[in-house]
């Protein structure tokens, strides 16, 4: 029996998407399951390419959230290399945000354009702190400790491993005869030098001897090939940026546009406002070919208003995030699965993709979001504990953690997060988010393949080879669902064991 004949047969259990989500109750991703389909293909045949906006396509349906503990340039570069996209937050000045976007757009695979450097009077203690924070040594030494002065040496592990006195300045131990490459060198040429000279780091210098970038042997191995990279027409990595609806954001958009940003996310907790509609119309009227995602919205009426104002994509979610307390505090919002289905159903009539934002804590949540109409998933919690997320690791009860905070937490609002909650300048701050911590998840470069493989396996179980096929099955009522009770949810998870080892979300 073919896959198609199975789906068209009279033996259709469960509910269609329309039947499931027309019930007068809000549903989360955990409140239903997709019923299994027919398998006649291998997981490797599943294609995860999708649309972020009307014009921008991604090889992977992953978007990192514009939160100040989630996405800056390191995260955005890693997301783009792996086929997704990162959205740079705006808890910063215009110049700072533009600088982060520029790092992504100027990134050359294998070249570290903002290497950590030290000056000659720094100590081995400083090197130890860098190793603890970043996990590497091999630090270029310049005359004044910045990249704006001449390279005078390099310090590697072999220079300091057996030095007991850690207060010694690095000029006493550094290697001064440094093998370098000249600015303009290709990555292949740099790689050939590293292989020939058997070195771990190759500083790239300009005609004045100033450090331009750094090439690392480990990065060359790690960054050898990213065939699914998200790139623009000029072969630069794609990058998005968030802006508010405040008047200052018009200048912010203009500067980001000049820096080459690919997509603007108008970042409002409640996106159905005259302020966002005016911002949408302003951007579409003044910046040719700049894609704009509106949001956040959770109803068809909200979605229609932003689509009519020119939105090229919609961001869906109000209150489902792990650090968000909007629904409790404001008594406004919507259960996330219901919000995604209803807005996606409506937006599809206008050929506008939707991005499920919030409420995702595992692979199953991602698969469910895609199954009910989302084209991509925006995640904060899932990516906050990775190496590429801003912030430093710390230990609590022996567990390696990173800070993760909602943009409506008191802490984040003091840094500017209140712009998305129409709360800027108010004397009394009402928190709609909390600050917390998340477990170390390793590098995005390992984590994304893990998530991708999990989704492929889920799609195989559903019986669909692509997001496009899945959405077609949803619209035609061939993709079937079933509500599940609280006891069914409990039974579908780990139960009845004396003890067990939980699977880790840290991809090695």
CATH number of the domain to which 282 belongs: 3.20.20.70
pLDDT above 50 (res 1)? no
Verify that 236 and 214 share a domain, yes or no.
no
Question: Given 7, 236, 315, 324, which residue is catalytic?
Answer: 324
302 contacts 274 by C-beta, under 8 angstroms:
no
**Statement to judge: residues 258 and 358 lie in one domain:** yes
401 and 477 share one domain: yes
Residue 420 annotated to the active site: yes
Residue 273 pLDDT: 94
Both tokens of residue 104?
A: 């992504």
- Could you list the residues known to form a binding site, using ranges: 267-269, 317-319, 321-322, 324, 357-359, 380-381, 404-408, 432, 486-487
**Position of tokens 């007068």?**
24
Kindly state whether residues 234 and 358 are assigned to the same domain. Answer: yes
Residue 102 domain flag: yes
Among 60, 315, 420, 456, the active-site one is 420
Q: Which two tokens stand for residue 160?
A: 């300091």
Considering 203, 224, 245, which residue would you say is the last residue of a domain? 224
Number of domains the chain contains: 2
| E-only strand ranges, 320-454 | 354-357, 376-379, 394-396, 399-405, 435-439
**484 and 373 co-located in one domain:** yes
Structure tokens at 291: 């894609």
Give yes or no: residues 218 and 268 share one domain: no
Contact assessment for residue 371 and residue 347, using Cβ atoms and an 8 Å cutoff: no
Q: Do 163 and 299 lie in a common domain? A: no
Nearest to 323 by CA among 242, 421, 398, 432: 432
Statement to judge: residues 406 and 432 lie in one domain: yes
Detail the residues annotated as belonging to a binding site for IMP. Answer: 322, 357-359, 380-381, 404-408, 432
End-of-domain residue from the set 204, 224, 244: 224
Q: Each residue of 140-162: pLDDT tens digit?
A: 889 888 877 899 989 887 777 77
Query: How many residues can be counted in the chain?
Result: 508
Range of the structural domain that residue 164 is part of: 111-224
The predicted-structure confidence for 481-495, as pLDDT tens digits, reads as follows 999 988 888 888 777
Mean pLDDT over residues 36-51, rounded?
96
- Are residues 428 and 460 in contact, defined by beta-carbon separation less than 8 angstroms? no
Residues 442 and 504 sit within 8 Å (Cβ to Cβ): no
Mean pLDDT of 246-263: 95
- 125 shares its domain with 272: no
pLDDT number for residue 116: 84
506 inside domain: no
Question: Which residue ranges make up the annotated binding site for NAD(+)?
Answer: 267-269, 317-319
Q: Within a 10 A sphere around the Cβ of 448, how many other Cβ atoms?
A: 22
Does residue 386 or residue 7 have the better pLDDT? 386
- Let me know if residue 4 belongs to a domain: no
pLDDT tens digits for range 364-373: 999 999 999 9
Judge whether residue 499 has pLDDT over 90.
Answer: no
377 flagged as catalytic: no
* pLDDT at residue number 506: 65
- Residue 76 and residue 143 in one domain: no
Nearest to 408 by CA among 375, 374, 432, 377: 432
| Mean pLDDT of the region 488-504 | 76
Are residues 478 and 428 both part of a single domain? yes
Rounded distance, CA 388 to CA 78, Å?
7
Average pLDDT over residues 459-469: 97
pLDDT digits (tens, 9 = 90+) for 272-305: 999 999 999 999 999 988 999 998 999 999 999 9
Q: Decide if 8 contacts 1 (C-beta within 8 A).
A: no
> Residue 242: which H helix or E strand, with range?
strand 240-243
Domain presence at residue 21: yes
Range in 7-11, 41-45, 109-113 the model is least confident about: 7-11
My answer on whether 246 and 164 are in the same domain is: no
In this prediction, residue 2 carries a pLDDT of: 45
> What CATH number does the domain containing 194 carry?
3.10.580.10
């Amino acid at each position: 029996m073919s896959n198609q004949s199975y789906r068209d047969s009279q033996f259709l259990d469960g509910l269609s998407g329309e039947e499931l989500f027309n019930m007068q109750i809000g549903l989360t991703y955990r409140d239903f399951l997709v019923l299994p389909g027919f398998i006649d293909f291998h997981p490797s045949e599943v294609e995860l390419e999708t649309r972020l906006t009307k014009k921008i396509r991604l090889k992977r349906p992953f978007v990192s959230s514009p939160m100040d503990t989630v996405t800056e340039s390191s995260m955005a570069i890693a997301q783009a290399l792996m086929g997704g996209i990162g959205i740079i937050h705006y808890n910063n000045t215009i110049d700072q945000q533009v600088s982060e976007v520029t790092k992504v757009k100027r990134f050359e695979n294998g070249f570290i354009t903002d290497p950590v450097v030290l000056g000659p009077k720094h100590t081995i203690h400083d090197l130890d702190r860098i190793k603890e924070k970043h996990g590497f040594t091999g630090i270029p030494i310049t005359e004044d400790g910045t990249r704006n002065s001449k390279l005078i040496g390099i310090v590697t592990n072999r220079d300091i491993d057996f030095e007991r006195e850690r207060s010694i300045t690095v000029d006493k131990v550094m290697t001064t005869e440094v093998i370098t490459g000249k600015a303009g060198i290709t990555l292949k040429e740099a790689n050939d030098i590293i292989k020939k000279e058997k070195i771990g780091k190759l500083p790239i210098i300009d005609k004045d001897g100033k450090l331009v970038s750094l090439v690392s042997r480990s990065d060359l191995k790690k960054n050898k090939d990213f065939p699914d990279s998200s790139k623009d027409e000029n072969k630069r990595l794609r990058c998005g940026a968030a802006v508010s609806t405040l008047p200052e954001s018009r200048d912010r958009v203009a500067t980001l546009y000049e820096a080459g940003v690919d997509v603007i996310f108008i970042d409002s907790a409640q996106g159905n406002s005259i302020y966002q509609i005016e911002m949408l119309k302003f951007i579409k009227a003044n910046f040719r070919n700049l894609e704009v995602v509106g949001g956040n919205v959770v109803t068809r009426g909200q979605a229609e208003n932003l689509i009519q104002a020119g939105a090229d994509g919609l961001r869906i979610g109000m209150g489902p995030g792990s650090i968000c307390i909007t629904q409790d505090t404001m008594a406004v919002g919507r259960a996330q699965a219901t919000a995604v289905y209803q807005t996606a159903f409506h937006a599809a009539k206008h050929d506008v993709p939707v991005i499920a934002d919030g409420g995702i804590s595992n692979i199953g949540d991602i698969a469910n979001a895609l199954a009910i109409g989302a084209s991509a998933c925006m995640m904060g919690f899932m990516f906050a504990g990775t190496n590429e997320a801003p912030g430093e690791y710390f230990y609590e009860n022996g567990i390696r953690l990173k800070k993760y905070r909602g943009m409506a937490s008191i802490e984040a609002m003091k840094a500017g997060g209140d712009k998305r909650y129409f709360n800027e300048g108010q004397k009394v701050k009402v928190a709609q988010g909390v600050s917390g911590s998340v477990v170390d998840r390793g590098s995005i470069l390992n984590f994304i393949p893990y998530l991708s493989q999990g989704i492929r396996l889920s799609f195989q179980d559903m019986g669909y080879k692509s997001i496009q096929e899945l959405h077609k099955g949803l619209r035609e009522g061939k993709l079937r669902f079933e509500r599940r009770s609280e006891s069914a949810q409990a039974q579908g998870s780990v139960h009845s064991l004396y003890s067990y080892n939980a699977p880790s979300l840290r991809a090695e």
